[in-house]
Each structure stands twice: as C-alpha cells, then as structure tokens.
C-alpha cells in the first residue's frame, strides 16, 4: 500500500497565510489541508486543496475510484472535485463514501448521468471497496456540521492503516475495535500542540501521546508501526521542537508530498554548507525506533573543529540510533535491517578517492566502480534510507584541478543517486524544496 500525503495541515494549514506568530514564522515547509492518496485509486478526504496538491506532486486523479470523507467540515470536503471529474467525461464508477454531513454537500455536484455511487456510512459499518476493506470507526469530533465524523481502518493485501482525523481522544469503542490490528501506519491528528484548553474534539501533544500509548498497549500500534501526526497547525511549536516531542512517543510529523508505504523509500537531501540538510534528514527518520547512522566522515585526529561538529551531530540523534563510521557504504546499504541515514556522499567520495590514490595521479576507474556499486546498493536497499550530500555546483569554480575533479565527480554521483531515489529535497537557508521527478 502506497500513501501519498497530499496535505498534513489543519483547516488553515501551517503556516496560516494571515499569521505572523512565532510558529508560522519558523515553519520550514508549507502544509496544506490534510488528505491522502492511496495507491492512486483511493482518496482519504478531499478538501478544496487536495486536487491541486495531487497535481503539484506529479499525480493524476484519473484512476481514483473511491473517495472516503471523514466528516463534513469544509477543509475535508471539496465537492468541486466531482465537477472537475465530470468535465473530463469520466465513465468509470466512483464510490463516494462518508457520513451524511459530507455526502449531502456532494450530491449537487454530479451530473445526472455521472457514474457516481454515494455510500453513507457510520461507526460499525464494514464496507468492501474494490481491493479494500473499510471498517468505519467512531470519532470524537464536532458539535456542528460534521458531528457525525468517522475514522477509517483501511486494509488491503498490501497493508493496513488507521486514518484518524479529525478527532479528540478516541472513544472506547474505537480503541476496542482496533485492538490487535498491528497497523502498518497510523495517521493521527495533532492540532493544538501545547495549547490544552481547546476542548475534546482535537488532539494536543499530551493527548496525542496518551492516545498513541493506548494504541500501543492494545496492540493496534506495534514496534514497526509508522505513527504520523497530521492535521498540524500553528498552535504547535517550531518544527525541531515538535519532532523531538513526537519522538518521545515513537511518532513523527507528516510532510506534504511524503510517500508512506510498505515499499522502501529512498530520499536524497542536498544542500550547501550550513543549509540544514543533516538536521532535515534526521527529522525524516525521527519517528523510527531504531536507525543506523552511517557516518562516512570518520575521525580526524588533531582537528578540534571537526570533533565539535561530530559532537553536535551526535547530540541531536536519539540514544536508540546506532552510529557506524565507515566508507564501505554499499555493504551497509545491502545488509541494512533498520532504517538507515547516510551522511554524507561528499565525505564518502573523498574517502574513495583517497583509497584509489586519485589525488596523487591515480586512475579514476576504481572510483567509478565504487560509484556504480553504491548506486546499485542504494537501489537494492531493503529498508527506508536517507542520504545527505553537498550541492557544490552552485558556488565558484574551484581554484585547483583536484577541487574541480571532486566537484565534477560529486555532481555525477548526486545525479545518479537522485535518479535512483523516490524523493529529492534541496535545502536552502533551512527550507526544504522538494524537487519534481523527471
């Protein structure tokens, strides 16, 4: 099962376009309204921003056959999507599923001959949609439009996930219904951060931690479950603090455009010096219980400045992470059993050029063989992997021949790893820019 997060923000997103609070000013990425595309055929919520988000992330919605709405609030129901589909003359049947508050807003947006089937559901229903089994669960949300909000336990041959937005602390019947599920992923709303006086229709960080703990106690979430916070708002602290707090629960914040699924995901994070690339790469794996940190820079005797850099990097990483210092990255990638972070390709390349005596006039054949081997291992890596590399092509031309050779080889290596990656992020002044696929 592949889940593309079309949005991970609250109704007003994060940052709020009209706000200049500290949280909005410090936001490192723009989050739109929470929605997800599953296997290109099923939409989990479809607010007004979702169709355009799919286009931005390079996905067509032409293959969508099922839309599941959780409730009738405006950021989750964008009925104009049905009109957009009507204009294409689509002839395949579309299932539109949800509580009455959502479906009632959609019925007038379809043509009389559109092959659209409305399926009204409530807690306790068990529905089959194509290859998917959908168990409908009770939410704690809404005293107005959307008071009939539901959550979804979605299962197919490729996995099982829990879509839990919007809701406050889960009702007892929902906890009972998901006990023992061992979900592959849980998408749980976390709207209010440390603001705890908002009521009981959303999660704040303490309530989120309590809900995750209960899900783990019941076996709904297990060690391998990817617990992802969505419906994030500017009531949350800055990203770095949010990552740290969620990590205490073995969770992490979701990101717009992120792909979650059973298949391994390979992400390349590029950036210049002090661009925030290593911190961003670490944040991508912050919710993982165990990570292998593959440090290719090694130890530099008699260099206190380098030692301080290493110390700061280590201080950011959770105690559960294992650090391996080696330039034999290919072997580590092929044999990895836990998510892996390779930091960085530049120091790896330097070590391989050292090994083959390139600086002293040695042939490049060995380096190119090593690059071939690394790229093959990156493609074959059986776990989620993140690699960090320096983007050196935008600066001045190096003054020495060896500097120009290194720049050129690293450019080749970056391009080849990027071509073998599921996602490429360019960090600029601490801000991540997701580069489009070719």
> Is 313 an annotated catalytic residue?
yes
DSSP string, 172-183: HHHHHHHTT---
Residues contacting residue 87 through CB under 8 Å, at least 6 positions apart = none
For residue 269, give the nearest of 422, 371, 53 by alpha carbon. Answer: 422
For residue 203, give the nearest of 195, 211, 191, 213 by alpha carbon. Answer: 191
Rounded CA gap, 152 and 383, in Å? 27
Of 141, 235, 280, 313, which residue is the catalytic one? 313
Rounded CA gap, 247 and 241, in Å? 10
CB 417 within 8 A of CB 375: yes
Cα 304 to Cα 53, 325, 354: the distances in Å are 46, 18, 22
Q: How far is CA 167 from the centre of its chain?
A: 21
Rounded CA gap, 153 and 163, in Å? 6
CB 35 within 8 A of CB 53: yes
- What's the 3-state SS for 351-362? HHHHHCCHHHCC
Q: What is the DSSP letter of 214?
A: H
Give all strands (DSSP E) within 130-225, no chain letters.
Answer: 132-138, 150-156, 159-164, 185-189
Rounded CA gap, 288 and 243, in Å? 11
CB 416 within 8 A of CB 377: no
Task: Give the number of other CB atoms < 10 A from CB of residue 46.
Answer: 30
Diameter of the chain by CA atoms?
A: 77
Q: Which two tokens mark 266?
A: 């390979």
Element (H, E) at 369: helix 365-380
Q: Between vectors from CA 99 to CA 157 and to CA 234, what angle results, nearest 5°?
A: 85
CB 243 within 8 A of CB 253: yes
Q: Which residues are catalytic?
A: 313
């Amino acid at each position: 099962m592949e889940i593309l997060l079309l949005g991970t923000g609250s109704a007003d997103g994060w940052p709020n376009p009209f706000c200049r609070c500290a949280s909005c000013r410090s936001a490192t990425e723009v989050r739109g309204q929470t929605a997800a595309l599953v296997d290109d055929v099923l939409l989990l919520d479809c607010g007004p921003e979702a169709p355009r988000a799919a286009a931005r992330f390079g996905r067509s919605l032409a293959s969508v056959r099922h839309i599941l709405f959780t409730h009738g609030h405006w950021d989750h129901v964008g009925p104009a999507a049905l009109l957009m589909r009507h204009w294409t003359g689509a002839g395949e049947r579309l299932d539109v599923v949800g509580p009455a508050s959502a479906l009632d807003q959609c019925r007038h947006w379809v043509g009389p001959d559109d092959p659209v089937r409305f399926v009204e559901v409530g807690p306790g229903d068990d529905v089959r949609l194509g290859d998917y089994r959908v168990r409908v669960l009770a939410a704690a949300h809404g005293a107005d439009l959307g008071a009939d909000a539901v959550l979804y336990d979605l299962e197919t041959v490729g996995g099982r996930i829990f879509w839990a937005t919007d809701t406050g602390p889960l009702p007892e019947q929902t906890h009972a219904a998901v006990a023992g599920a061992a979900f592959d992923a849980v998408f749980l709303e976390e709207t209010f951060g440390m603001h705890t006086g908002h009521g009981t229709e959303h999660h704040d960080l303490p309530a989120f931690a309590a809900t995750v703990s209960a899900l783990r106690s019941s076996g709904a979430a297990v060690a391998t479950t990817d617990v992802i916070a969505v419906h994030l708002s500017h009531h949350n602290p800055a990203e770095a603090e949010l990552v740290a707090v969620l990590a205490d629960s073995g969770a992490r914040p979701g990101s717009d455009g992120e792909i979650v699924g059973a298949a391994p995901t390979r992400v390349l994070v590029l950036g210049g010096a002090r661009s925030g690339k290593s911190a961003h790469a670490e944040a991508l794996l912050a919710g993982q219980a165990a990570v292998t940190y593959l440090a290719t820079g090694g130890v530099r005797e008699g260099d206190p400045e380098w030692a301080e850099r290493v110390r700061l990097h280590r201080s950011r990483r959770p105690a559960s992470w294992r650090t391996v210092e080696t330039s034999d990255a290919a072997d580590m990638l092929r044999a990895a059993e836990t998510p892996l972070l390779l930091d960085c390709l530049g120091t790896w390349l330097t070590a391989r050029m050292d090994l083959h005596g390139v600086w002293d006039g040695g042939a490049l054949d060995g380096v190119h063989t090593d690059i071939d081997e690394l790229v093959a291992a990156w493609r074959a890596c059986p776990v989620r992997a993140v690699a960090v590399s320096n983007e050196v092509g935008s600066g001045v031309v190096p003054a020495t021949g060896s500097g120009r050779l290194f720049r050129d080889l690293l450019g080749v290596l970056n391009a080849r790893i990027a071509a073998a990656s599921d996602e490429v992020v360019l960090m600029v002044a601490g801000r991540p820019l997701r580069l489009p696929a070719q």
